[in-house]
Amino acid sequence: AAAGGGGGPVGDREGWRLMLRAGVSDWGGVSPGVTPDHVSPEAPWPHLSELARVTREEGYALVPRLAAQARYVVRKRSKLADPSNDTHGFREDEDEDEDDDETGGGVASSPSPPSPVRVHETEGSDRWIDARVAPHVRVLADSEGFARASGWCPGRDESPESAAGAEKDDDEAKRRTPSKPWLSSRVPRPADVVGVDGAVFGGRAPRDARGSGPPRGSRRVRAAIERLRRRGASLALDCSTQLCEVDGRDSDSDSDSDSHSRTEMDLDEAAVATLLRARGADFDAVCAAADEARAAQCGDAVTYVVNRNINYTNVCALSCAFCAFSKGPASEELRGKPYLLAMEEVARRTAEAWDRGATEVCMQGGIHPDFTGEDYLAILNAAKSGAPDIHVHAFSPLEVSHGALTLGLTHREFLKKLRDAGLGSLPGTAAEVLDDPVRAQLCPDKLSTDQWLDVVAAAHDAGVPTTSTMMFGHVDTDGPDAWARHLLRLRNAHVASVSRNGRGFTEFVPLPFVHFEAPVFRAGAARRGPTLRECVLAHAVGRLTLGSAGLTNVQASWVKMGPEMAGELLRAGCNDLGGVLMNESITRAAGARHGQEMSAATMEAIVRGVGGGRVARVRTTAYGDAPAGRRDAAMRA
């Protein structure tokens, strides 16, 4: 039932406030302008904007849900969950009436960080949502089980379509209309009900009570931000023996020191997950904190690299559920033509990239069943023959593992061969989400979490720097808790590598899942990618989790996010726009429409549009200044 009556009389609004203060956490069904209220016509449905305003003024965010409560829509969560997701899950300013000044009546100036909480075993979609209904639910839900309520998706926008007339059909007409199979109605195209912060439009976020500063957010969020800042800085300064041994992986040791380290990691995980679930004023506070951290760690420069993607083959022996790019043998492939570039073509494309101002070629491909480590060396040699001075950024940890296995070498031995042949750095792709339950559902054929971390650690030890990524927003096991574990594993791996040899990850790149042509989505087993709120938070929380630990470059992918949204991410913790690419195949194969090249001039125009003193800088792969003349060549291309 809808709560509180109409949206006009002041008394009704005061009634809403009293109910919120009494513990109400759900308004039931509210459908102004959609269906008339035949039960209580004297008290019509409240306007959403008014309900949102009152809800927000009371310190909560108004969030649309599906017919089922969110905790029954998502897969049963892990033992650790965000303590904000209790009955009052979206209270934003529970301490707004408290004085945070040190003399403020004994109120602590440094609130306690979030603590891990237990989750009931009986909750979760695997228990409550019928398998025949689940695909319909997934296209409507976000990672926390609430309604998406927005048409934005990574890769391309989905313009809203009017559903006017659906409620005008009489009951008999509705009965005669068969239900659509989920695949034919998989793009619900809702009109946007929520803003980028994940809350219903209405009202303004509370401002700092002491002035016009940035949004404060709740005490819980402020504590989580502060915990990650302190922990990251501490780890960057002094990598403990336990951390170096763990190297981002889980430990089974029962020693007291390992138990303490595990407790600290649990608290870190709860803090990161808290930030990844932020909505309303908390969302604004997280973004503001990330932007402040970016300014302190990177200054006002926004970097980009002039590069070219070369995807040398789309033939792949694996069957990753999310991949629309890979193809099987020609005799078996129904989705498109398999290809394998000749070495002469690899050399030609590299030479052409150099002539157009590139300092880097990024080369990756499928796991070709006929490839050995010698094939990867041949591809590397072809690129260097085309442009001897170009930086070769090539081969995912999965490709490195495959090449090493075929030659009977360790990862480090094979990486040294690649380095000596001219490999400059390794893309940190094939990571997807570094959480084995997610990987079991999304990419069971790929490396496990520990295997991926082993390869990147070997690369750092062999003198080959790597990037890091997270491809998120897809299957049921994927969500804020898994993303939190992923970020912390990257943080620990980076600090451990730096402590051993001074080398680690050069950047972190969130990669939102593009769903349109992905097999896992077409099979009904995935969401429509992350929401815009989730995308922004992945970048902002990446900054807050990794930046203080020394991993200070956070990239916005214009291919996934689109040029406009990539520019907006520069205000939420990002300092890099990635590469001009010249060619892009993998995301396009998944259905993205943001193009396969962005000119250097357009990159710099995006930066100018951000304002605030931000300036564009052409970089190398390792984030140094590009050699003289490279920018001019790129501008002429």
Handedness of CA 80, 199, 610, 584 (dihedral sign): positive
Rounded Cα–Cα distance for residues 430 and 196 (Å)? 28
Q: Is residue 310 part of a domain?
A: yes
Q: How far is CA 370 from CA 312, 345, 404, 407, 425, in A?
A: 14, 19, 14, 13, 24
Give yes or no for residue 568 having a pLDDT over 60. Answer: yes
Instruction: Give the pLDDT band of residue 549 (cuts 50, 70, 90).
Output: very high
- pLDDT at position 584 is 57
Place of tokens 């549009």: 609
Give yes or no for residue 242 having a pLDDT over 70. Answer: no
Q: What percent of the chain has pLDDT over 70?
A: 73
Q: Which domain holds residue 47?
A: 14-62
Q: Is residue 89 part of a domain?
A: no
State mean pLDDT over 75-86. Answer: 48
- Beta strand 301-305 with 576-579 is parallel
- pLDDT at position 167 is 38
If 0-12 CB within 10 Å is exposed, 13-18 middle and 19+ buried, where does residue 622 land? middle
Residue 575 CA to its chain's centroid (Å): 16
Rounded to 5 degrees, what angle do the CA atoms 524, 530, 535 make?
A: 170
Q: What is the pTM of this model?
A: 0.85
Give yes or no for residue 217 having a pLDDT over 70. Answer: yes
- pLDDT at position 2 is 27
If 0-12 CB within 10 Å is exposed, 13-18 middle and 19+ buried, where does residue 23 land? exposed
Rounded Cα–Cα distance for residues 432 and 452 (Å)? 10
Q: Is residue 429 part of a domain?
A: yes
Whether residue 459 contacts residue 466, with contact meaning beta carbons closer than 8 Å, is answered with yes
Rounded Cα–Cα distance for residues 38 and 526 (Å)? 38
- pLDDT at position 203 is 58
Lowest mean pLDDT among 31-35, 483-487, 547-551: 31-35
Rounded to 5 degrees, what angle do the CA atoms 355, 357, 363 make?
A: 85
SS3 310: strand
The per-residue pLDDT for range 11-29, each reduced to its tens digit, is: 588 989 999 999 999 988 8
Q: What percent of the chain has pLDDT over 90?
A: 58
Q: Is residue 133 part of a domain?
A: no
Give yes or no for residue 302 having a pLDDT over 90. Answer: yes
| pLDDT, the chain, mean | 82
- pLDDT at position 257 is 57
- Structural domains in the chain (count): 2
- Beta strand 615-618 with 423-425 is unpaired
- pLDDT at position 228 is 96
Rounded Cα–Cα distance for residues 27 and 50 (Å)? 13
Give yes or no for residue 324 having a pLDDT over 80. Answer: no
DSSP 326-374: -B--TTT--SS---B--HHHHHHHHHHHHHTT-SEEEEE----TT--HH
Whether residue 352 contacts residue 310, with contact meaning beta carbons closer than 8 Å, is answered with no
Rounded Cα–Cα distance for residues 569 and 509 (Å)? 12
Give yes or no for residue 105 having a pLDDT over 90. Answer: no
State mean pLDDT over 578-600. Answer: 71
Rounded Cα–Cα distance for residues 445 and 203 (Å)? 48
Q: Provide the 10 A C-beta neighbour count for residue 479.
A: 29
Rounded Cα–Cα distance for residues 583 and 587 (Å)? 11
Q: Is residue 175 part of a domain?
A: no
CATH number for the domain spanning 559: value is: 3.20.20.70
The per-residue pLDDT for range 489-526, each reduced to its tens digit, is: 999 999 999 999 989 999 999 999 998 888 899 889 99
Lowest mean pLDDT among 178-192, 252-266, 616-630: 178-192
- pLDDT at position 95 is 47
492's CB contacts (< 8 A; 6+ apart) are 235, 243, 246, 247, 248
- Identify any residues that bridge with 313 across adjacent strands, giving them in sequence order: 340
- pLDDT at position 85 is 40
Percentages (nearest 5) of helix, strand, coil residues in the chain: 40, 10, 50
State mean pLDDT over 94-106. Answer: 37
Euclidean distance between the first and final Cα of the chain, in Å? 62
Residue 297 CA to its chain's centroid (Å): 21
Q: How far is CA 282 from CA 29, 83, 92, 117, 577, in A?
A: 25, 14, 6, 20, 26
The per-residue pLDDT for range 358-417, each reduced to its tens digit, is: 999 999 998 999 999 999 999 999 999 999 999 999 999 999 999 999 999 999 999 999
Q: Is residue 309 part of a domain?
A: yes
SS3 394: strand
The per-residue pLDDT for range 452-488, each reduced to its tens digit, is: 999 999 999 999 999 999 999 999 999 999 999 999 9
Q: Is residue 68 part of a domain?
A: no
- pLDDT at position 591 is 58
Instruction: Give the pLDDT band of residue 213 (cuts 50, 70, 90).
Output: low
Give yes or no for residue 117 having a pLDDT over 90. Answer: no
Whether residue 346 contacts residue 310, with contact meaning beta carbons closer than 8 Å, is answered with yes
285's CB contacts (< 8 A; 6+ apart) are 214, 215, 216, 217, 218, 221, 222, 225, 278
Which of the residue ranges 186-190, 345-349, 439-443 has the most confident prediction, judged by mean pLDDT? 345-349
- pLDDT at position 343 is 97
Which of the residue ranges 9-18, 100-109, 617-626 has the most confident prediction, judged by mean pLDDT? 617-626
Rounded Cα–Cα distance for residues 462 and 481 (Å)? 32
Instruction: Give the pLDDT band of residue 168 (cuts 50, 70, 90).
Output: very low
Rounded Cα–Cα distance for residues 456 and 420 (Å)? 17
Handedness of CA 213, 218, 219, 225 (dihedral sign): negative
Q: Name the phi and psi angles at 470, rounded to 5.
A: -145, 120
- pLDDT at position 10 is 52
Q: Decide which of 62, 79, 99 is a domain's last residue.
A: 62
Which of the residue ranges 11-20, 92-101, 420-429, 514-523 has the most confident prediction, judged by mean pLDDT? 420-429
Whether residue 491 contacts residue 129, with contact meaning beta carbons closer than 8 Å, is answered with no
Tokens of 570: 């520069």
Give yes or no for residue 186 having a pLDDT over 60. Answer: no
Rounded Cα–Cα distance for residues 271 and 453 (Å)? 23
State mean pLDDT over 262-284. Answer: 93
Which of the residue ranges 10-19, 83-92, 207-216, 627-636 has the most confident prediction, judged by mean pLDDT? 627-636
- Residue of higher predicted confidence among 151 and 429: 429
- pLDDT at position 75 is 78
Residue 519 CA to its chain's centroid (Å): 20
- Residue of higher predicted confidence among 141 and 151: 141
Q: Is residue 138 part of a domain?
A: no
- pLDDT at position 211 is 47
Rounded Cα–Cα distance for residues 190 and 149 (Å)? 6
- pLDDT at position 7 is 42
HSE-up (13 A, CA, CB side) for residue 635: 9
